[in-house]
Structure 1
Amino acid sequence: MNIADIWGEKEHILFIIQIALFIVQVLSLFFLVLYVWKTWQMASSTKESAKASEKMIEEMKEARDQESAPYVVPFININKHMMFFGIKNIGKSVAKDIKIRVKPELMSSIFGDKIHDLPLIKNGLSSLPPGHELETMFDVSHIYLNRDDFPMSYLVKISYEGGLKKELRDYEQVLDLSVYKDLIPDEDMNLKDVVKSVEDLSNYDKKISEELQKLEENVARGIWIKNPDISISYAQLDYASWKLIAASKLRELKVILERMTSKSPYFYSFDIKNRIDSIIGQILVIASNYPLEADSKIGEDLNSFAFNVLEFSRSMSFLFDRRSEGFNKELSKYILNIDDLLKILI
């Protein structure tokens, strides 16, 4: 074998080696690209997993916050014709720094513009525990719902803090009063209705009056009975008996008025108001049936006094302004009037 053959064989071997190296490099490049691609996939999967974990953690925090957060909602409640505006925390933690905005502004036939100065509406509330509510009376239902110039719906916006998140929470709700408009009748009785009721009393059967004569004499002497609304006898009485019955009813009214002046300014009972109206009705009947030998001025004085007290007992001041100094002065005036009438009768 000569040198040329040997050299040719070497070149052939080198060529084969170069081809093998090229193939190895191509395969290395392929596997490198495959490795990079797989690594990128793994990194992307890890990133997505991290995002999913973060989202899951946020959802868990949100769920925990919703479960333990305070929820303050507004309401308007109607109870025995009294309308109350209030808020209630139906959540599971304390609501803090509560602010209330009402659009349009809350209106009242009783308080007028002073309704906006109520502490709950003007200043809000510093805190409200879970399950607790706070309300304030602002009107009478059959008066408010029959006013065409009063709004029938309010948009109430409430902001407060509390719960796991240390951020301000907002809640708004529409309070619709139109649903009550035809459900609550107008029970406002005026003075004409009262006079008509008193006149109807005078049409009671005289036979019933005679049967109750003996019982009425006992009542006149100061015996209290369970049902004090038994009718006064309308048969013509002698002057002495008439004065005795009139004085008895005046004393009974005086006891009630004196009790009201000594009670707490927050004390009020519809039973007491009804009792006063009943006694006044009886005094009006007594005054209209004064004996012929009696001075007509006594009957006129009793009538005038009874109508004044009746009008006062049906005034807004009597119903909602018991805390004022003027209320007690008014009661004291009627007590003095009773003393003057008793001096005439006794």
Structure 2
Amino acid sequence: MTSGLTVLAIDFGAWTPDDWSAAATVVTAILTLATVGIALFAALYAKQQVDLARQLREEQAQPFVVVDFADNPVTRKGIDFVVENMGQTLAKNVKITVDPPFSSTLDSAGYPLRDAPLITQGIPSLPPRKRITALFDMAPQRYAAELPMKYTVTVRFEDSHGGAQEPLTYILDLSVRHNLLYPTEYGISDAAEALREVSKTLKETRGDLKNEFYRRRQAESANNGSSSAE
């Protein structure tokens, strides 16, 4: 007897047909179980892929409402508040909450953004790629007025079927725009101002020409009068 080692010996030659049949049955059962396990794993993996693909399609098809501050395309150094649906489907009942409430150096003009229906009532429907902008402030005046530079904006909305979407929270910080170098870009407002200056200069020049013409006529009349008297 070998110490610490057991050797299992199988004498296949002594097997009866019943033994071979039983062994075949066991092997068949094992292979069947393995096949079922592989098929089950493949089915679970396929379902996972289908679920992921469906989730991706649903997410891509959902509305996605973004809010931010942006440069005003017309007024140089102007700051716009922008609301845009960057998703691919309609956003409904868009509600915007701002903390602290918006304040601007333009509020004295009588149209404070915090009291606008955009903030107080929201947007009934916002189609895909629809963009709403509102002039928020002028950068130089705002920095000089020491108004709040950071706002927390929460956006709540529904999808096209009325299903509530997860609220989105944005931190809008105007201070990141301060003391940055920008290339000089002239827009429509600059062109209009230049045209006004040209018009003003032309009027002044025309007035000067009229005065000069009148002065010369007066001088000629005076000279003609002196010549006649002689």
TM bin (shorter chain) = 0.5 to 0.7
Match of 2:225 in 1: none
- The answer to whether the 8 Å contact 2:156/2:166 transfers is yes
Q: Assess, with a 3 A threshold, how the Cα gap between structure 1 residues 30 and 104 changes in structure 2: closer, same or farther.
A: farther
Match of 2:87 in 1: 91
Q: Report percent identity of matched pairs.
A: 26
Q: 1:136 aligns with which of 134, 146, 150?
A: 134
In 2, the alpha carbon distance for the partners of 1:119 and 1:164 equals 24
Spell out, residue by residue over 1:206-252, the C-alpha distance to the aligned partner (whole angstroms, 9 max, x if none).
xx99x92734999xxxxxxxxxxxxxxxxxxxxxxxxxxxxxxxxxx
Please report how far the alpha carbon of residue 142 of structure 1 lies from its aligned counterpart in structure 2 after TM superposition.
2.0
In 1, the alpha carbon distance for the partners of 2:51 and 2:162 equals 12
Superposition pairs of residues 281-292 of structure 1, within 5 angstroms: none
| Aligned residue identity for 2:55 | E
What secondary structure sits across from 1:212 in the alignment?
A: helix
Match of 2:49 in 1: 56
Q: Assess, with a 3 A threshold, how the Cα gap between structure 1 residues 164 and 143 changes in structure 2: closer, same or farther.
A: same
**CA root-mean-square deviation:** 3.6
In 2, the alpha carbon distance for the partners of 1:156 and 1:71 equals 15
Q: Assess, with a 3 A threshold, how the Cα gap between structure 1 residues 36 and 165 changes in structure 2: closer, same or farther.
A: farther
Structure 1 portions without partners, runs of 5+: 1-19, 185-207, 219-346
Match of 2:118 in 1: 120
What secondary structure sits across from 1:168 in the alignment?
A: coil
Match of 1:202 in 2: none
Q: Assess, with a 3 A threshold, how the Cα gap between structure 1 residues 47 and 173 changes in structure 2: closer, same or farther.
A: same
Report which of the two has the higher share of helix: 1
Please report how far the alpha carbon of residue 91 of structure 1 lies from its aligned counterpart in structure 2 after TM superposition.
2.4
Superposition pairs of residues 41-190 of structure 1, within 5 angstroms: 41-79=34-72, 80=75, 81-111=77-107, 115-148=113-146, 150-162=147-159, 166=163, 168-183=165-180
Match of 2:198 in 1: none
In 1, the alpha carbon distance for the partners of 2:210 and 2:28 equals 117
What secondary structure sits across from 1:63 in the alignment?
A: helix
* Structure with bigger gyration radius: 1
Match of 1:37 in 2: 30
Structure 2 portions without partners, runs of 5+: 1-13, 182-203, 215-230
Please report how far the alpha carbon of residue 30 of structure 1 lies from its aligned counterpart in structure 2 after TM superposition.
2.5
Please report how far the alpha carbon of residue 168 of structure 1 lies from its aligned counterpart in structure 2 after TM superposition.
1.1
The alignment's TM-score, normalised by the length of structure 1, stands at: 0.42
In 2, the alpha carbon distance for the partners of 1:48 and 1:182 equals 59
Please report how far the alpha carbon of residue 160 of structure 1 lies from its aligned counterpart in structure 2 after TM superposition.
2.4
Report which of the two has the higher share of strand: 2
The alignment's TM-score, normalised by the length of structure 2, stands at: 0.60
What secondary structure sits across from 2:144 in the alignment?
A: coil
Q: Assess, with a 3 A threshold, how the Cα gap between structure 1 residues 104 and 56 changes in structure 2: closer, same or farther.
A: same
What secondary structure sits across from 1:151 in the alignment?
A: coil
- The answer to whether the 8 Å contact 1:153/1:176 transfers is yes
Question: May I ask how many residue pairs the two structures share in their alignment?
Answer: 173
Please report how far the alpha carbon of residue 133 of structure 1 lies from its aligned counterpart in structure 2 after TM superposition.
0.9
In 2, the alpha carbon distance for the partners of 1:55 and 1:35 equals 30
Please report how far the alpha carbon of residue 165 of structure 1 lies from its aligned counterpart in structure 2 after TM superposition.
10
In 2, the alpha carbon distance for the partners of 1:157 and 1:46 equals 47
Q: Assess, with a 3 A threshold, how the Cα gap between structure 1 residues 118 and 54 changes in structure 2: closer, same or farther.
A: same
Please report how far the alpha carbon of residue 74 of structure 1 lies from its aligned counterpart in structure 2 after TM superposition.
0.8
- The answer to whether the 8 Å contact 1:69/1:91 transfers is yes
Q: Once superposed, which parts of structure 1, at least 4 consecutive aligned residues long, lie more than 6 Å away?
A: none
| Aligned residue identity for 2:141 | I
Spell out, residue by residue over 1:144-198, the C-alpha distance to the aligned partner (whole angstroms, 9 max, x if none).
22233x23233333232337995514433332312332359xxxxxxxxxxxxxx
Please report how far the alpha carbon of residue 131 of structure 1 lies from its aligned counterpart in structure 2 after TM superposition.
1.8
